[in-house]
Chains A and B, each alone.
Chain A
Amino acid sequence: GAVVSQHPSWVICKSGTSVKIECRSLDFQATTMFWYRQFPKQSLMLMATSNEGSKATYEQGVEKDKFLINHASLTLSTLTVTSAHPEDSSFYICSGWGLAPNEQFFGPGTRLTVL
């Protein structure tokens, strides 16, 4: 299957700082990228959907000014957690979907810990 990478795989930051997570589709063009958040022992919750070149669509309850998503190219999307707080500590997973293949592929996730 196609490959999606995330960088970094883990990050520890101080409260109040901003953290950027990159999601790349390595061998296909991801027309749409999705960002999920997963708290310990819970399932994945979709945060937002981004289409290349347009603004992201956020799910209800997700603050768009706090979680900035940029999808500037067909192979790269970034999620910036602004002014991170301990409650933002979570496992962030991205996925990419493209017309070829017509399937969604998941990245390995980024563990964010905010102290």
Chain B
Amino acid sequence: SQQGEEDPQALSIQEGENATMNCSYKTSINNLQWYRQNSGRGLVHLILIRSNEREKHSGRLRVTLDTSKKSSSLLITASRAADTASYFCATDARYGNKLVFGAGTILRVKS
């Protein structure tokens, strides 16, 4: 399969709660990126973490990367209704610029 796996497939939380999404991948990588996609729209780049980094923050986002387990997590703190979207991780192979996307997590934040 081209894709990695993400869990959960769907997540429903109340506004103000934290949301955690996980992503696993299969091959060695240069970088791992997280994207957001609102329904029927294009991708919005959220954050990139390099293979030699373990944790990265950007505003309310916190990304971790464990290359030994080939996994990453995205934490959104103090969620808002506007965070409702699908979230995808994407990895690029050690050589080349192709991105392989995870299956995605559908996040719904209820106000």
What residues make up the interface of A, taking CB atoms closer than 8 Å to B?
Answer: 1, 32, 34, 36, 41-46, 49, 59, 91, 93, 95, 97, 104-109, 111
Given A46-B98, A104-B97, 4 new contacts (CB under 8 A): A41-B106, A44-B43, A46-B2, A106-B42
User: Is the beta-carbon distance between A34 and B88 smaller than 8 angstroms?
Assistant: no
Could you tell me if B2 and A45 are in contact, using CB atoms closer than 8 angstroms?
Answer: yes
CB-based contact B101/A97 at 8 Å: no
Q: Check B3–A43 contact: CB distance below 8 A.
A: yes
Do residues A111 and B42 form an inter-chain contact, with CB atoms below 8 A?
A: no
Chain A residues near B99 (CB-CB < 8 A): 34, 46, 95, 104
Q: Whole-angstrom distance from the CB of B48 to the nearest CB of chain A?
A: 8
Judge whether B97 and A32 touch: CB under 8 Å: yes
> B88 to A111, Cβ gap below 8 A?
no
Are A43 and B41 in contact (CB-based, < 8 A)? no
